């Protein structure tokens, strides 16, 4: 839902790719590039340096400016011009303003197929409404995704606690832990896992350090 950290998570994704020397193309449907840069700087993520080095390009459009076919054409053209290794679309749910569920799903299916054919790694941010199941998406495209990372907010003892977990990841081993995280001056910080297995690993690590000191 809103305020869970989807865009900040996407910014970390882009930051890591640019640090590896990969070119990134970021499609914004909600904010201007200037807003994005300012907001992420306040979270300790400096995306401006990657823009200056030519590794990160923003393409910002209001969904209402074009129909879905024109949006798809504009995105294809941008990918062909900039030839990125990584693409972010944030958020895809804003496209619902210019098309039905079926139309948006069809458009995104074609976009995903186009990116896969070019070997592009893509991250799609999707907003869930507060009244629906947290493990559903308004655009009904979860089946198209190879990996689904879910971020949510719980109210715990009179404060909001953000949580993250991997709901699915096709063909890849992944953690089943639900991890709490927080925003810091250097971006998102994951809290230690509270699962029994993770706690046992930490106990063994602490015990090993104690023996070394002796």
Backbone angles phi and psi of 88, in degrees to 5: -120, 135
Crossing angle (nearest 10°) for helices 101-117 and 68-82? 20
Rounded to the nearest integer, the mean pLDDT of the chain is 85
Record the pTM.
Answer: 0.82
Please, which pLDDT band fits residue 129 given cuts at 50, 70 and 90?
Answer: low
pLDDT at 181: 86
pLDDT at 138: 47
């Amino acid at each position: 839902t809103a305020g869970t950290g989807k865009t900040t998570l996407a910014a970390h994704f882009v930051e890591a790719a640019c640090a590896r020397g990969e070119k990134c193309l970021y499609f914004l449907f909600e904010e201007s590039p200037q807003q994005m840069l300012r907001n992420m700087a306040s979270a300790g993520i400096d995306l401006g340096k990657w823009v200056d080095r030519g590794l990160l390009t923003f393409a910002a459009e209001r969904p209402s400016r074009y129909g879905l076919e024109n949006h798809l054409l504009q995105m294809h053209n941008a990918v062909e011009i900039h030839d990125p290794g990584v693409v972010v679309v944030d958020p895809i749910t804003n496209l619902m303003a210019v098309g039905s569920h079926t139309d948006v799903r069809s458009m995104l299916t074609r976009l995903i197929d186009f990116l896969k054919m070019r070997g592009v790694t893509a991250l799609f941010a999707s907003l869930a409404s507060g009244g629906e199941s947290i493990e559903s998406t308004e655009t009904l495209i979860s089946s198209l995704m190879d990996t689904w990372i879910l971020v949510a907010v719980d109210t715990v003892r009179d404060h909001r606690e953000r949580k993250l977990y991997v709901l699915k990841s096709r063909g890849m081993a992944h953690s089943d832990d639900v991890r709490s995280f927080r925003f810091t001056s250097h971006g998102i910080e994951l809290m230690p896992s509270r699962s029994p297995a993770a706690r046992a690993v930490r106990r063994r690590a602490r015990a090993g350090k104690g023996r070394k000191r002796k």
